[in-house]
């Protein structure tokens, strides 16, 4: 009997060690979005109109819960970065809490004010050299618009990168649009070597950003149809915009 008890204790100890080892290899969730787990927060996980709550795992660690607005779908590139639930500590508990605490009212996603496959809005604005730009002037031209604001760090960081696009595609018109005037634009453009054509006080174009934040980059083909429109200064967004430009001009 003594040997049987010793064997059972040994088994319990063994499985306890295995369970602890397995648990130690799991990742602590930082964010739960739409039932998907991420180890840390990024702005791309929080669209305008989203609702935020706090969950706690079994160890008391805080986990951000993000409830997406109705009609919003996470980009496939974001979903690809999600961590499988099997690799997350206390995944079952977190999912139960996430689903159980879903708000009664979820905002509707309004998105940005421009859609791929539709004509770009009618506009007319002057650049910092007082040249007027409008749809008529850009007829039969491929053009790109980058919408930014001075308070946006990612906007400023991508400006030198965007200037290289202008060198790469000399036949494409590159326009920057902001709510700022010439006196506000020039110091920023010089500091960050932003060589695009700068439309000033372009309120209608800036309004296209909606709740999504800056920057917003839009690619328009020769027929005036939007072929690309995404918020954010990620390397992936930039690569997709460049691929769209190449596809249009080739």
DSSP 8-state symbol, 69: P
Cis upstream peptide for 51 (omega within 30°): no
pLDDT band per the 50, 70, 90 thresholds, residue 24: low
Pairing of strands 216-220, 226-231: antiparallel
Share in percent of the chain as helix, strand, coil (round to 5): 35, 20, 40
Range in 11-15, 89-93, 103-107, 128-132 with the lowest mean pLDDT: 11-15
Helical spans, DSSP H, in the chain = 2-24, 76-79, 91-100, 153-168, 182-191, 203-206, 235-249
Q: State the pLDDT confidence band at 100, using cuts at 50, 70 and 90.
A: very high
Q: How far apart are CA 241 and CA 247, in angstroms?
A: 10
8 Å CB contact between 131 and 75: no
Residue that wins the pLDDT comparison between 8 and 34 = 34
- C-alpha to C-alpha distances, 226 to 5, 37, 95, 168, 222, nearest whole angstrom: 74, 33, 38, 21, 10
10 Å CB burial of residue 245 (0-12, 13-18, 19+) is buried
Residue 43's pLDDT is what? 73
Q: What percent of the chain has pLDDT over 90?
A: 71
**pLDDT of res. 69:** 87
Strand 124-126, strand 36-38: pairing: unpaired
Predicted local confidence at residue 50, as pLDDT: 86
Predicted TM-score (pTM) of the model is 0.67
The alpha carbon of residue 52 and the mean position of all alpha carbons in its chain are separated, in whole angstroms, by 17
How far does the chain reach from its first CA to its final CA, in angstroms? Answer: 83
Closest CA to 230 of 18, 37, 47, 99: 47
The mean pLDDT value for 148-165 works out to: 95
Distances (CA, A) of 160 to 12, 69, 121, 191, 194: 61, 34, 27, 10, 6
Mean pLDDT across the chain, nearest whole number? 88
Q: Tell me the Cα Rg of the chain.
A: 25
Question: CA angle at residue 225 from 220 to 227, to 5 degrees?
Answer: 55
| Span 13-17, average pLDDT | 43
Residue-wise pLDDT for 170-188, tens only, equals 999 999 999 999 999 999 9
Domain limits, the chain: 26-110, 124-249
Report, at the CATH architecture level, how domain 124-249 is classified. 3-Layer(aba) Sandwich (3.40)
Distance separating alpha carbons of residues 236 and 166, to the nearest angstrom: 18
When comparing pLDDT for 213 and 30, which is higher?
30
pLDDT at position 135 over 70: yes
Q: How far is CA 214 from the centre of its chain?
A: 10
């Amino acid at each position: 009997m003594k040997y049987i008890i010793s064997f059972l204790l040994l088994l319990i100890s063994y499985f306890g060690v295995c369970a602890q080892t397995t648990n130690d290899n799991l990742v602590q969730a930082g964010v739960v979005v739409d039932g998907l787990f991420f180890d840390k927060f990024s702005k791309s996980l929080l669209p305008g109109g989203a609702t935020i709550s706090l969950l706690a795992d079994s160890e008391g660690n805080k986990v951000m819960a993000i409830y997406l607005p109705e009609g919003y779908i996470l980009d496939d590139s974001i979903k690809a970065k999600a961590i499988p639930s099997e690799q997350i500590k206390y995944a079952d508990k977190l999912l139960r809490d996430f689903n159980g605490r879903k708000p009664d009212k979820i905002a509707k996603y309004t998105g940005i004010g421009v859609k791929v496959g539709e004509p770009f809005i009618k506009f007319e604005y002057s650049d910092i050299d007082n040249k007027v730009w409008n749809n008529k002037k850009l007829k039969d031209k491929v053009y790109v618009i980058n919408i930014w604001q001075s308070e946006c760090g990612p906007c400023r960081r991508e400006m030198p990168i965007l200037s290289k696009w202008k060198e790469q595609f000399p036949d494409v018109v590159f326009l920057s649009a902001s709510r700022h005037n010439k006196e506000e634009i020039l110091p920023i453009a010089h500091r960050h070597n932003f060589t695009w054509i700068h439309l000033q006080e372009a309120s209608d174009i800036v309004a296209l950003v909606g709740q999504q934040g800056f920057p917003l980059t839009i690619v328009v083909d020769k027929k005036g149809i939007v072929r690309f429109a995404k918020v954010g200064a990620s390397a992936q967004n930039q690569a997709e915009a460049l691929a769209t430009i190449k596809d249009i001009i080739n």
